[in-house]
Amino acid sequence: MPKKTSLTGSELFIVDNSDEDWKAVRYLRDWCQLSKSIDIATGYFEIGAFLALDSEWQKVDSIRLLMGDEVSRRTKKAFDEGLARLAGRLDKSIDAEKKKNDFLDGVAAIVEAIQTGKIQCRMYRKDKFHAKAYITHARLEVVGAAALVGSSNFTHPGLTQNIELNVQITGSQVAVLQEWFDAHWADAEDVTSQLLKVIERHVQDYTPFDVYAKSLHEFFKGHELTATEWERNHSAKLETQRRSAQDQGNRDSSVHSAPHLSSV
């Protein structure tokens, strides 16, 4: 546990990402295993934050994500510009993720969680919003609620790389933080559907042949088979995938090559 003790003997639970074993991502992973709900306030959001939590976030029943819009003007045009920037940042973060995670493993689960309402997203635009807080509510009453408040945005660097300063709040003070979050949540704009469209576009980019090629790559990675093992266990299954991909390709080709009839 990353407790810091001062010269006067006072202790404070600090998470600043400097300890290899106690980064903010570890703190959140552990709380995901205990929590029924998590409320997140962040200036910025990137897809890599959820992916850094692996599948642990899926154990939480409800996640509310409250974000800033990166602009200080409060007009309707400014809101649209802020939403465009927010979507653009998310879009770029997914493109960056593709470089190390070709098929965006884990993103489909995020899409489903947004579609079902498990993950809700709002953007605060009354004033520039730059707060960072993670309020966790445990399933067991004896564990209670806690909050991590500080400088870490809900991004991969914010949770794993940057030197941040976050402190844990417990006890009755968490209720005060919850009231603060709920008040700002009520004043924020729902942007769940807009962000969902950005993520879905990336997930739907893959053709049947892409899936077939990926399955071959993953299967053979670090594994060698004899000809007999291959024939007995896997050739039929992959042949079926190959034919499916080929049939899809033929259908696509027939659509593009179909003659156009002009009216007389």
In a domain, 262, yes or no: no
The total number of structural domains in the chain stands at 2
Closest CA to 129 of 153, 148, 93: 153
Whether residue 160 sits in one domain with residue 136: yes
In a domain, 215, yes or no: yes
- Is residue 252 pLDDT above 70, yes or no? no
The answer to whether 42 and 15 are in contact (CB under 8 A) is no
Q: Say which CATH number the domain at 118 has.
A: 3.30.870.10
Whether residue 175 sits in one domain with residue 249: no
Instruction: Quote the domain boundaries for residue 225.
Output: 208-254
Lowest-confidence region among 3-7, 122-126, 199-203: 3-7
Question: Confidence class of residue 92 from pLDDT cuts 50, 70 and 90?
Answer: confident
Whether residue 62 sits in one domain with residue 28: yes
In a domain, 126, yes or no: yes
The answer to whether 34 and 140 are in contact (CB under 8 A) is yes
Map residue 166 onto helix, strand or coil: strand
What pLDDT, in 10s, does the model give residues 39-76? 999 998 888 889 899 889 999 999 999 998 754 344 44
Whether residue 159 sits in one domain with residue 236: no
Whether residue 191 sits in one domain with residue 227: no
- Beta 189-190 vs 3-5: how paired, if at all? unpaired
Whether residue 242 sits in one domain with residue 199: no
In a domain, 102, yes or no: yes
At 207, give phi and psi (nearest 5°): -85, 165
Whether residue 32 sits in one domain with residue 70: yes
Residue 152 to residues 16, 132, 232: CA-CA distances in angstroms? Answer: 8, 6, 52
Query: Mean pLDDT over residues 96-123, rounded?
Result: 75
pLDDT for res 195:
82
In a domain, 78, yes or no: yes
* Strongest mean pLDDT among 7-21, 112-126, 188-202: 112-126
Better pLDDT: 218 or 178: 178
- Beta 119-123 vs 62-67: how paired, if at all? parallel
Helical (H) or strand (E) element with 150:
strand 145-150
Whether residue 37 sits in one domain with residue 161: yes
Whether residue 145 sits in one domain with residue 38: yes
Better pLDDT: 258 or 149: 149
> Last residue of a domain, which of 182, 203, 224?
203
In a domain, 20, yes or no: yes
Whether residue 245 sits in one domain with residue 175: no
In a domain, 157, yes or no: yes
> Last residue of a domain, which of 185, 203, 221?
203
> Last residue of a domain, which of 161, 188, 203?
203
How large a percentage of the chain has pLDDT more than 70?
59
In a domain, 237, yes or no: yes
* pTM, to two decimals: 0.67
Whether residue 212 sits in one domain with residue 172: no
C-alpha to C-alpha distance for 155 and 197, rounded to whole angstroms: 19
Whether residue 224 sits in one domain with residue 117: no
C-alpha to C-alpha distance for 170 and 144, rounded to whole angstroms: 9
